[in-house]
Protein backbone atom coordinates (compact mmCIF):
# COMPACT_ATOMS: atom_id res chain seq x y z
CA UNK A 1 0.00 0.00 0.00
CA UNK A 2 1.32 3.43 -0.96
CA UNK A 3 0.80 6.31 1.45
CA UNK A 4 0.89 9.87 0.22
CA UNK A 5 0.77 13.01 2.36
CA UNK A 6 0.41 16.45 0.80
CA UNK A 7 1.47 19.74 2.36
CA UNK A 8 2.18 23.31 1.37
CA UNK A 9 -1.29 24.57 0.61
CA UNK A 10 -2.56 27.89 1.86
CA UNK A 11 -3.98 31.25 0.91
CA UNK A 12 -2.23 33.52 -1.56
CA UNK A 13 -3.09 36.55 -3.63
CA UNK A 14 -3.50 36.40 -7.38
CA UNK A 15 -0.10 36.36 -9.09
CA UNK A 16 1.56 34.70 -6.13
CA UNK A 17 3.31 31.34 -5.82
CA UNK A 18 3.06 28.20 -3.72
CA UNK A 19 4.97 24.94 -3.69
CA UNK A 20 3.10 21.81 -2.80
CA UNK A 21 4.89 18.74 -1.50
CA UNK A 22 3.81 15.12 -1.42
CA UNK A 23 5.71 12.79 0.87
CA UNK A 24 5.43 9.19 -0.26
CA UNK A 25 5.98 5.94 1.53
CA UNK A 26 8.91 3.66 0.69
CA UNK A 27 10.25 4.28 -2.84
CA UNK A 28 6.89 5.14 -4.38
CA UNK A 29 7.96 8.17 -6.43
CA UNK A 30 10.57 6.13 -8.27
CA UNK A 31 8.30 3.13 -8.70
CA UNK A 32 5.12 4.76 -10.01
CA UNK A 33 4.03 7.44 -12.37
CA UNK A 34 3.15 10.41 -10.19
CA UNK A 35 0.57 13.09 -10.73
CA UNK A 36 -1.24 16.08 -9.29
CA UNK A 37 -4.99 16.53 -9.45
CA UNK A 38 -7.28 19.22 -8.14
CA UNK A 39 -10.93 19.50 -7.30
CA UNK A 40 -12.80 22.77 -6.99
CA UNK A 41 -16.14 22.95 -5.15
CA UNK A 42 -18.92 21.49 -7.26
CA UNK A 43 -16.52 20.27 -9.96
CA UNK A 44 -14.98 16.98 -10.97
CA UNK A 45 -11.46 16.10 -9.90
CA UNK A 46 -9.15 16.91 -12.80
CA UNK A 47 -5.60 15.93 -13.61
CA UNK A 48 -3.25 18.86 -14.00
CA UNK A 49 0.31 17.50 -14.07
CA UNK A 50 2.05 14.16 -14.28
CA UNK A 51 5.50 12.69 -14.44
CA UNK A 52 6.14 9.17 -15.69
CA UNK A 53 8.95 6.78 -14.81
CA UNK A 54 11.02 8.08 -17.73
CA UNK A 55 10.85 11.58 -16.29
CA UNK A 56 8.54 12.89 -18.98
CA UNK A 57 6.10 15.51 -17.76
CA UNK A 58 2.76 16.64 -19.09
CA UNK A 59 0.36 19.37 -18.05
CA UNK A 60 -3.23 20.36 -18.48
CA UNK A 61 -3.65 23.41 -20.71
CA UNK A 62 -5.04 25.38 -17.77
CA UNK A 63 -1.72 25.23 -15.89
CA UNK A 64 0.86 24.83 -18.65
CA UNK A 65 3.62 27.38 -18.35
CA UNK A 66 2.67 28.26 -14.76
CA UNK A 67 3.00 24.98 -12.84
CA UNK A 68 6.00 22.63 -12.69
CA UNK A 69 5.98 19.06 -11.43
CA UNK A 70 9.20 17.60 -10.07
CA UNK A 71 10.40 14.99 -7.63
CA UNK A 72 13.31 14.18 -5.37
CA UNK A 73 13.85 10.42 -5.33
CA UNK A 74 16.25 10.60 -2.41
CA UNK A 75 13.56 12.27 -0.31
CA UNK A 76 10.78 10.21 -1.89
CA UNK A 77 8.88 13.45 -2.41
CA UNK A 78 6.85 14.89 -5.28
CA UNK A 79 6.50 18.64 -5.76
CA UNK A 80 4.25 21.04 -7.61
CA UNK A 81 5.61 24.55 -8.05
CA UNK A 82 2.71 26.88 -8.78
CA UNK A 83 3.46 30.36 -10.11
CA UNK A 84 1.27 33.16 -11.43
CA UNK A 85 -1.64 31.78 -9.48
CA UNK A 86 -5.16 32.80 -10.45
CA UNK A 87 -8.43 32.73 -8.48
CA UNK A 88 -9.59 29.88 -10.69
CA UNK A 89 -6.73 27.77 -9.31
CA UNK A 90 -8.56 27.65 -5.98
CA UNK A 91 -9.17 23.98 -5.21
CA UNK A 92 -8.18 21.00 -3.11
CA UNK A 93 -4.98 19.58 -4.54
CA UNK A 94 -4.19 15.87 -4.45
CA UNK A 95 -1.11 13.90 -5.36
CA UNK A 96 -1.50 10.43 -6.76
CA UNK A 97 0.52 7.40 -7.78
CA UNK A 98 -0.36 5.29 -10.76
CA UNK A 99 0.63 3.16 -13.70
CA UNK A 100 0.12 2.87 -17.42
CA UNK A 101 -1.15 -0.62 -16.61
CA UNK A 102 -4.53 -1.33 -15.05
CA UNK A 103 -4.14 -2.25 -11.39
CA UNK A 104 -7.17 -1.06 -9.46
CA UNK A 105 -10.93 -1.11 -9.85
CA UNK A 106 -11.80 2.56 -9.95
CA UNK A 107 -8.81 4.56 -11.18
CA UNK A 108 -8.79 8.14 -12.31
CA UNK A 109 -7.03 8.55 -15.61
CA UNK A 110 -4.85 11.37 -16.82
CA UNK A 111 -2.76 11.30 -19.98
CA UNK A 112 -2.63 7.53 -20.28
CA UNK A 113 -1.97 6.76 -16.62
CA UNK A 114 -4.38 5.15 -14.18
CA UNK A 115 -4.04 6.61 -10.71
CA UNK A 116 -5.00 4.40 -7.80
CA UNK A 117 -3.22 5.75 -4.72
CA UNK A 118 -4.21 9.13 -3.30
CA UNK A 119 -3.24 11.55 -0.61
CA UNK A 120 -5.76 13.36 1.58
CA UNK A 121 -5.34 16.68 -0.22
CA UNK A 122 -4.17 20.17 0.62
CA UNK A 123 -6.28 23.30 0.14
CA UNK A 124 -5.16 26.17 -2.08
CA UNK A 125 -7.06 29.46 -2.04
CA UNK A 126 -6.17 32.25 -4.44
CA UNK A 127 -7.79 35.63 -3.81
CA UNK A 128 -8.12 38.38 -6.38
User: Environment class of residue 97 by beta-carbon count within 10 Å: exposed (0-12), middle (13-18) or buried (19+)?
Assistant: buried
Q: By the 8 A CB rule, do 24 and 76 touch?
A: yes
Of 79 and 1, which is predicted with more confidence? 79
Tell me the DSSP string of 97-117: EEESS--SSS-EEETTEEEEE
- Positive/negative CA dihedral, 2, 4, 42, 101: negative
Strand partners, 66: none
pLDDT for 43-99, tens place per residue? 999 999 999 999 999 999 999 999 999 999 999 999 999 999 999 999 999 999 999
Amino acid sequence: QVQLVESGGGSVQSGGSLRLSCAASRDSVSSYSMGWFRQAPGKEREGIASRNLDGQTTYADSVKGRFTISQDNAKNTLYLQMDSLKPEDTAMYFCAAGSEFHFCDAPRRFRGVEYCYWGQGTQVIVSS
